[in-house]
Structure 1
Amino acid sequence: MKKILLIFVLILSTTIQAQSYKFKISGTIKSDKEKTPIEAATIHLEKEKDSTVLSYTISDDKGFFSLEGKVYSKKVKLFISFIGMDEYSKPIILTKDANIDLGTIALKEESNLLNEVVIKSRAPITIKKDTLEFNVKSFKTKKDANVEDLLKKLPGVEVDEQGQITVNGKAVNKILVNGKPFFGNDPTIATKNLTKEIIEKVQITDTKSKSEAFSGEKGDANNKTINLTIKEENNKGWFGRVAAGGGTDERYEAATIVNRFDNNTRFSVLAGTNNINSPGFSFGEITKMFGNSNNVSFFGNGQFSVGGRNFGGGQGIITSRTGGATYADEYGNGVDLNANYFYSGSNSENLNRSNREYTVQVQDQNNPGQTRELRYFTNSNSNSTTENDNHSFDTDLDIEIDSTFLINVTPRFTFNDRSSSFTQSDESLDENRVLTNRFTSSAVSNAEAKNFQNTIDITKRFGSKGGFIKASITNQIDQTEGEDFNNSTIETFGTNANTEIRDQKTDITSDLNGFRTRLSYRQPIIAKKLFVNLNYRYRIDERTRVESTFDFDNTTQDFTNFNTDLSTNFTFNDITKTPLVGITYDTKSFNLDFDIGQTMRTLENQDILRPNLSLNKDFNNVTIDANMRYRFPSKARVYIGYNLDNNAPGITQLQPFTDVSNPSNIVSGNPNLKPSQDHRIFANFNKYNWQKRTGFFFWGGANFINNQIVNKTTIGDDLVRTTTYVNADGIYSYYGGGSYNRGIKLDSASTFNIRTGLRFNGSKSINILNEIENVTKTNSITPRIGFEFNWKKKIVITPNYEVAFTNTRFNVNNIADQNFTRHSLRIRTRTNVPKKLEWRNDIRYTFNPNVIGFNRSAWFWNSTLAYSILKDKGTITLKAYDVLNQNTNAQRSVVGNYIEDSESTVLQQYFMLGFSWKFNSLGKKGEVRNYDFD
């Protein structure tokens, strides 16, 4: 029997091998008219039978291309395309180990340029000046794929576990749909809720503001924008999804999104609620089955924000509620409107405990001029609940007066209602672990905040050489009202034992009136290449803050005794004027921007309660902003920048007011502080080799700060701290890293990807304790490696491993250096056997050998089964969260002069059964379209 089985396996493997064709097709592409090499032409190979894309690449700067791989189709067809040229095609019959050299291929100028007939490109990738365009139909995904699934298939594009997108290592900070925002500038709503089936093209460019795009300026080289173009036939109709689920431990989730597209008119609404730490509007019920992954990681804290919107505002387990609507339309010629409303509400509960070990140097009272080591310990336990409701409304209105004149108006309004309760117990122990002092507190707070901000951008181009004049005006109004109730007890033990009880109410009002403007003028010296820039920036922020604290009066049984020491009443003005002059040199491959100016800043503070503490300070400093970008002929890009900023001290750091609200740490300002000087340098380099499917990305930067404002603290024998602020030199931080990605095509349907990388960072910080300068230097390096094996979309296995090494050194000799190691392993799997059943697993293991007092290691396993029904319009899911019931977020950190071990509440094990249904009437027949290229 074993022999028969062995013979059968050998015959089967021989048959499979006989059906595969290994090939290498190469050639050089030139223009027929000018005989010059054509760079970035797209070359792709299709099955002759059903036009399935088998492989693709682009030509290099010499016009050369090489297409390699293995397919199971003998008859194939080669296509070559380039903007402005006629498409070239050639049928090819493959043989085993085919090595085909096509020699020189001449492309002719497009014959349809003067005709009305538009021929749509079939190429998987097209490069148009500064835009990289992908043809969606060329990239295989599962049938139920959303945009995020699609982006993961595009070369050079990566989507991490939080949904953050990078293109060749550069972050994507904006996603547009047909050139317009979708629910504001929140990328995740578009990527997780729009399905691949309605998208025709994915276009990637450097991020630009409306004004920059209109004036023809270069965009942000460090950030990317993705524009999703809807198929013309799919741009009218309704589509959306509804999903709900319930599980053990009273866990639940529900969400819906409904979209109406009608050419230029677009309207969408969404709503959701859950108690599993999820934003609530994600429909990736398999890939995003557990909400924001920060909240399930070993170091998460249950707090998250999406697209700049804050969810929870607390830690631990969060119950969230979301709702919103977006509307976009065009009115006549040149008027474009986009409006968004969004509501986010949440309740959170969290228990936190932490242990700290302090080591400081103090003056030895028995030996003048000598120091001694002081070690003490603190233990802290807290319990908090928070309720937060946030409403935001924003509008983006473009008015194009003519082809040279644009006005952009963006008003935004936000209303926030927040309430919280908090209990805390802290205790300090001396080096013999004898209790020295104890602080217990319970607090309740309520606050309402309103914010209005409006920006008007005016851009006017003149001439044909690239000149323009721009003006930007922004006004901002913030209003906050609230009240805090605090009941606390402070106990000091030892020879001077003392107990202080506080029972207080504080009424708080805070207002901000801000105005800022920027004027820009660009004069061309060499048409569209060399420019002189003149800029002027002005900003004024006027803040008023009143905190009126009242002690409880036992006689009146009310909070009627005004406490001057714990109250404030002041008006603070921050005025900044910055004239700048600079140059810009811009060509296809090289860009240089250099600006230098003078920042003149005035800080004015009028203290109503303490007139003697009012102050007026002027600061004048040079500011520099320089950036250089270069694009090599090999398509590699390098970006280098330098900035010099001067940061004035804050009002609380300058004003010599003594803050005694925390009796264990009394803080006062220093009116003699100088502004800090921050020198920032940064650089990155990236290259993607289309021929070999490899990508490189390196980045690095450093900050060097003089006159950094640091804490100066005195600690007494009772462990009570008195803190002020001073300037210090020599503080720095640095960061950097690199990544290498390699895609290996095993055959036309199977791939193996390798991802390796390394991050490093370090810093030097200073604080002064009992007149002794404490210097802490921290260095960290984190190598990582990951793989992805994809077998015909039926089995996908993705393991990733990283280890972080951290070293912290102190200048005080008797404080031992600290070394920490953290190991992280993550394995994700997906199987689609049978076709309608999808099984996903997410397994993570973390080991913290240096943590004391908490779990050092834990396995974290999530699993989901999803079965498609109703012709793939419906999906039944069974989720298992934290299968092994080991989720934890214990961690150790080194901050300044202490080591801390901490952990807080995390979401525990649950199982959930869910159902989702999608509908789609886009297109002529209204059916759901599924593109499957298996």
Structure 2
Amino acid sequence: MKKNLLFILLLISFSVFSQKVTLSGSVKDSLQNPMPYANVIAKPKDISKNLQFAITDNEGFYRLQLAKGDTINISISYLGYKPLAYQFIALKGAQKDFILKESSESLDEIVIEMPVTVKGDTTTYKTSKFIDGSERKLKNVLKKFPGVEVDKNGTVTVQGKKVTQMLVDGKKFFGGNSKLAVENIPADAVGNVEVIDNYNEVAFLKGLTDSDEMAMNIKLKEDKKRFVFGDVEAGKGNEDFYKTSANLFYYAPKTNVNFIGNINNTGEKTFTFRDYMSFSGGVNAIFSGNFDWKGGSFSQFMESNDVLVSKQKFGALNITKTATSKLDIAGFLIFSNTNTSSFIEDFNEYNAFTEQRTNSTHKDNVLGIGNLNIEYTPNSLEKWYFRTQVKRTNNSNNNRLLSLVNNAANTIDTDRDLVATYINQNIEWHKRQSDKHTFSAVFSCVSDTSAQNAFWQTENPILQGLIPADNAQDLLSILQDKNTKQQQIDFIFKHFWELNNSNHIYTTFGNKFLNEDFFTEDRQQLDDFSFNNFSSDGFGNDVNFKLNDVFAGLHYKFRTGIFTFKQGAFLHNYNWSVNQQNQTTKNKWVVLPDFLAKIEFNKSKKITVNYNLKTTFSDASRFANRFYLQSYNSVFKGNETLENNLFHAARIYYSRFSLYRGIMLFASLNYNKQIQGVRNTVAFDVNNPNASQRINQFLTAKLFDNLSEDLRGNVHLEKSIKDIKYKLDVGFNNASYIQEIDTILQTNKNKNYDYELAFETMFDNFPKIEIGVRRAIGRFTSSSNTSKFVTTEPFVNIDYDFLKDFIFNFDYRKSIYENKDLSQKNTYEIANATLSYKNEDSAWSYKVSAKNMFNAQFKQSNRFSEYVVSDTKTFILPRILMFSIGYNL
């Protein structure tokens, strides 16, 4: 049946395909220079048919796909030039070139219908030329712009380049987060859309940074600029499933207020860990490379999408206020509370034995983020920023694990709690002193504290030989306190000397100071509620780690023709001390060179090559020289003699985009080699006659030379032929690294290959259908064994706007998982569908949706490390059927 359906879809697609006629050619000026981004608009004489358009590429070429037999009026326009008109009868394909002449009239006297205009680095899309009224959210609008893509994670790309800042009427929307914007801003509020390449929020810094950022500015319609608008939705499903959401916006000339809220138990996450990282604070892009923002203890907020029970509460409030002509104040508050329950089955294959394990987990995660940003502009050549961000999380994790090793079973209950607070304050200053000299500085202060408590309880002994437990108790109960306090103070000063338009010299000075305290205490609670403290047997840490980094950098950047080069180096003096029972102090000078080369053939074809020698330091926990528990089967001891990691990082990236040829090509190659690095060594209790105890692990950290080497590559190709887009993704990762297991040094190799092949229909008045297959092949080789995994995933996605007011969305994916070594093969299918209705003249909308239509019970996956290979079944939410009603304000 499924094969027949696919055949019918292909038959219909190629039937429609055969009814198209191609008109192509070039647009040039009177001097025969190609005119990129000129508008070529096709208006059928039959006004009931849709307008078609094309935009010329960098060589001035255009291509139009027109309905066979139509009589079409072609208009060609470009800002500052006289428009041309041409009538074409689409009986067969033809080629037609146009020459535009400069207009002698002033621009405000000319009325030109231009869907897309380009001025410098800014591309403006006239939204009304692309939409038909069926769009619900901003993402539906953006998907109709040529060269614009929106993926399922809310990431927006324009001609293959990622949008890094999302603005609404020139102001950052929730800190510039694209997902919250595209998923929640109503389509009927969107006016024109601007895309700004090489964006910098400080105008006079543009061109000085190598971050290559891109911003998208959503201009609201005039009737939305002094208005409250938005939408609310509520849905009820089978088995007590529910969903409610609200997106409310108030915009006035000097005050903007945005609220987003969502409550559901369907597994839908408005805010993910990936989104959290985009709210991790930051400074201007010119300081890129000098700051390293980390997730820290907040990484525990990241929960799986695949759960059996899920309750999500999310609220976000964003306010911006123009206080005076020189002072802007903005801030946002974000709250997220998730309650989830999950169930996972693992089959773990160690070198000498196997383990069957089940994990039942309940998580309650609360996260709050508050951000205040003050922007002061005393004049057009100076800018100040005062930023404060506070984050707090309170998480609990309750887990029951059943481990079965060679018929010996053990049940361990684990309760973990985390309370963490993060405060970041920074002051940023930029000054354009003259045409040749620009100065920037930033001062940042960070406080990051976390308190973690763990409680393990089991009827059977665990970690025998590794912990000094009294096993004569009815229950083995172990408690752990683990606290971390970190303070970091950074100061960076930059001087930009522009010798001329093609030659720049950049100078950097700075200092970073880190002070980190790490504390652990492990103890056993006895049956009489007294405690057996493990401190007398080498447990318990109280470590202070200080690191001071004084650095200076000098870089020279020059341009010649299509080439841009930047080379230089940073000189670092690292001074660090580890204070526990004894104090260890070290000092080291390190030179870190870097190189950047860009070849820009035109705006849509570029090559970038860069190289960096990089260094990082471990955190205090790895310097702690006394034992502490990591899990029910592992004990860790740090190493106070560790030094910095040092590694080479090189990358080459090629991009090409052509609307005329219908091609989008991106290729990258990344190489990393770790000259020296820290890795955990592992010792198993292999001599223990009790097989059920052989999963016990003692880990410590050790510095190795030539630790690892990694080569990654990826090619993404999209090619449009007529009204069908073909997609090809190919990737590989070849890595090798050394690992010490039971005092034996071994080399592990990890080779992964994957490809995805798909095609997508783009016909007018026809469903948008994407059909493809993804295949991933993984091979992990250690000194003792080789494991090979293959996952094959055919998929279908359908988006269909029909009968003017209906929208149908469907996605289907089948996963075929194979473990070649164990001769295992598992298959599951996931399908979701949505049918929505909204009359253009009504504020009400209605939606019927189905998630996990085939009621799949679990997903199959694999993972591997130096000493264990795991096959995993993750159980998921059942089929959910839901009816929703929405209302547009």
TM-score, with normalisation over the residues of structure 2?
0.87
Distance in structure 1 (CA, Å) of the matches to 2:803 and 2:699: 66
Distance in structure 2 (CA, Å) of the matches to 1:799 and 1:407: 51
Does the 8 Å contact 1:766/1:774 carry over to 2? yes
Q: Which residue of 2 aligns with 1:182?
A: 173
Which gives a bigger RCO, structure 1 or 2 (Cα 8 Å, sep 6+)? 1
Q: Which residue of 1 aligns with 2:29?
A: 30
- Point out the more displaced range, 237-246 or 163-172: 163-172
CA drift at 1:398: 1.4
CA drift at 1:143: 1.4
Distance 1:342 1:869, change over 3 A: same
From 639, 654, 668, the equivalent of 1:685 is 654
CA drift at 1:589: 4.0
TM-score, with normalisation over the residues of structure 1?
0.83
Secondary structure in structure 2 of the residue aligned to 1:884? coil
Q: Which residue of 2 aligns with 1:470?
A: 440
CA drift at 1:559: 5.2
Does the 8 Å contact 1:486/1:504 carry over to 2? yes
CA drift at 1:325: 1.0
From 423, 426, 451, the equivalent of 1:452 is 423
CA drift at 1:434: 6.2
Distance 1:631 1:443, change over 3 A: same
Q: Which residue of 2 aligns with 1:214?
A: 204
Does the 8 Å contact 2:575/2:585 carry over to 1? yes
Distance in structure 1 (CA, Å) of the matches to 2:109 and 2:461: 82
Q: Which residue of 1 aligns with 2:92?
A: 97
Q: Which residue of 2 aligns with 1:808?
A: 780
Distance 1:855 1:914, change over 3 A: farther
From 688, 698, 717, the equivalent of 1:740 is 717
Secondary structure in structure 2 of the residue aligned to 1:632? strand
Q: Which residue of 1 aligns with 2:491?
A: 517
Distance in structure 1 (CA, Å) of the matches to 2:827 and 2:275: 24
CA drift at 1:651: 3.1
Does the 8 Å contact 1:601/1:620 carry over to 2? yes
Residue deviations 1:241-282 (CA, integer Å, cap 9, x gap):
11111111221111111111113421111221111111248x
Q: Which residue of 2 aligns with 1:86?
A: 81
Residue deviations 1:9-57 (CA, integer Å, cap 9, x gap):
xxxxxx9999x883535344225xx775544433333346769641212
From 729, 736, 745, the equivalent of 1:757 is 729
Distance in structure 2 (CA, Å) of the matches to 1:17 and 1:585: 49
Q: Which residue of 1 aligns with 2:243?
A: 253
Q: What amino acid maps onto 2:509 in structure 1?
A: Y
Q: Which residue of 2 aligns with 1:123?
A: 114
CA drift at 1:866: 2.0
Residue deviations 1:444-481 (CA, integer Å, cap 9, x gap):
3333322211121100012224x201111111122334
Residue deviations 1:332-371 (CA, integer Å, cap 9, x gap):
2222222111111111111222121122xxxxxxxxxxxx
Q: What amino acid maps onto 2:101 in structure 1?
A: A
Q: Which residue of 2 aligns with 1:827?
A: 796
Distance in structure 1 (CA, Å) of the matches to 2:300 and 2:768: 32
Distance in structure 2 (CA, Å) of the matches to 1:517 and 1:405: 19
Q: Which residue of 2 aligns with 1:237?
A: 227
Q: Which residue of 2 aligns with 1:41?
A: 38
Q: Which residue of 2 aligns with 1:352?
A: 344
Does the 8 Å contact 1:254/1:280 carry over to 2? no
Distance in structure 2 (CA, Å) of the matches to 1:21 and 1:848: 41
Q: What amino acid maps onto 1:722 in structure 2?
A: F
CA drift at 1:121: 5.6
Write out aligned runs for 1:551-562 (5 A).
Answer: 551-552=524-525, 557=529
Q: What amino acid maps onto 1:907 in structure 2?
A: L
Does the 8 Å contact 1:311/1:345 carry over to 2? no
Q: Which residue of 2 aligns with 1:369?
A: none
- Point out the more displaced range, 587-596 or 597-606: 587-596
Distance 1:554 1:195, change over 3 A: closer
Distance in structure 1 (CA, Å) of the matches to 2:266 and 2:444: 39
Distance 1:314 1:593, change over 3 A: same
Does the 8 Å contact 1:311/1:320 carry over to 2? no
State yes or no: 1:314 paired with 2:313: no
Does the 8 Å contact 1:845/1:859 carry over to 2? yes
Distance in structure 2 (CA, Å) of the matches to 1:132 and 1:257: 28
Does the 8 Å contact 2:233/2:886 carry over to 1? yes
Secondary structure in structure 2 of the residue aligned to 1:188? helix
Secondary structure in structure 1 of the residue aligned to 2:164? strand
CA drift at 1:391: 1.5
Secondary structure in structure 2 of the residue aligned to 1:148? helix
Residue deviations 1:501-548 (CA, integer Å, cap 9, x gap):
6434444543222111110011222x2321111101211121223334
State yes or no: 1:268 paired with 2:258: yes
Does the 8 Å contact 1:426/1:439 carry over to 2? yes
- Which sections of structure 2, spanning at least 5 residues, go unmatched? 1-14, 281-298, 689-693
Distance in structure 1 (CA, Å) of the matches to 2:550 and 2:464: 55
Distance in structure 2 (CA, Å) of the matches to 1:232 and 1:700: 46
Q: Based on CA coordinates, which of the two structures has the bigger radius of gyration?
A: 1
Distance in structure 2 (CA, Å) of the matches to 1:569 and 1:584: 47
Distance in structure 2 (CA, Å) of the matches to 1:560 and 1:875: 63
- The aligned length equals 840
Secondary structure in structure 2 of the residue aligned to 1:246? strand
State yes or no: 1:57 paired with 2:90: no
Distance in structure 2 (CA, Å) of the matches to 1:72 and 1:312: 59
Secondary structure in structure 2 of the residue aligned to 1:189? helix
- Point out the more displaced range, 516-525 or 191-200: 191-200
CA drift at 1:755: 1.5
Distance in structure 2 (CA, Å) of the matches to 1:483 and 1:897: 28
Secondary structure in structure 1 of the residue aligned to 2:378? strand
Distance 1:408 1:586, change over 3 A: farther
Distance in structure 2 (CA, Å) of the matches to 1:172 and 1:887: 37
Does the 8 Å contact 1:712/1:723 carry over to 2? yes
- The alignment's C-alpha RMSD in Å is 3.3
Q: Which residue of 2 aligns with 1:193?
A: 184
Distance in structure 1 (CA, Å) of the matches to 2:257 and 2:159: 33
Write out aligned runs for 1:470-509 (5 A).
Answer: 470-481=440-451, 483-488=453-458, 491=461, 499=471, 502-509=476-483
Does the 8 Å contact 1:21/1:96 carry over to 2? no
CA drift at 1:768: 1.3
Distance in structure 2 (CA, Å) of the matches to 1:605 and 1:494: 31
Does the 8 Å contact 2:374/2:385 carry over to 1? yes
Does the 8 Å contact 2:540/2:627 carry over to 1? no
CA drift at 1:307: 4.5
Q: Which residue of 1 aligns with 2:355?
A: 378
From 156, 159, 167, the equivalent of 2:150 is 159
Q: What amino acid maps onto 2:571 in structure 1?
A: Q
Distance 1:563 1:635, change over 3 A: closer
From 134, 140, 146, the equivalent of 1:143 is 134
CA drift at 1:888: 2.1
CA drift at 1:133: 2.9
Does the 8 Å contact 2:83/2:112 carry over to 1? no
CA drift at 1:312: 6.0
State yes or no: 1:442 paired with 2:413: yes
CA drift at 1:148: 1.0
Q: What amino acid maps onto 2:493 in structure 1?
A: L
Q: What amino acid maps onto 2:769 in structure 1?
A: I
Q: Which residue of 1 aligns with 2:673?
A: 704
State yes or no: 1:722 paired with 2:711: no
CA drift at 1:442: 2.2
From 877, 883, 889, the equivalent of 1:907 is 877
Does the 8 Å contact 2:525/2:531 carry over to 1? yes
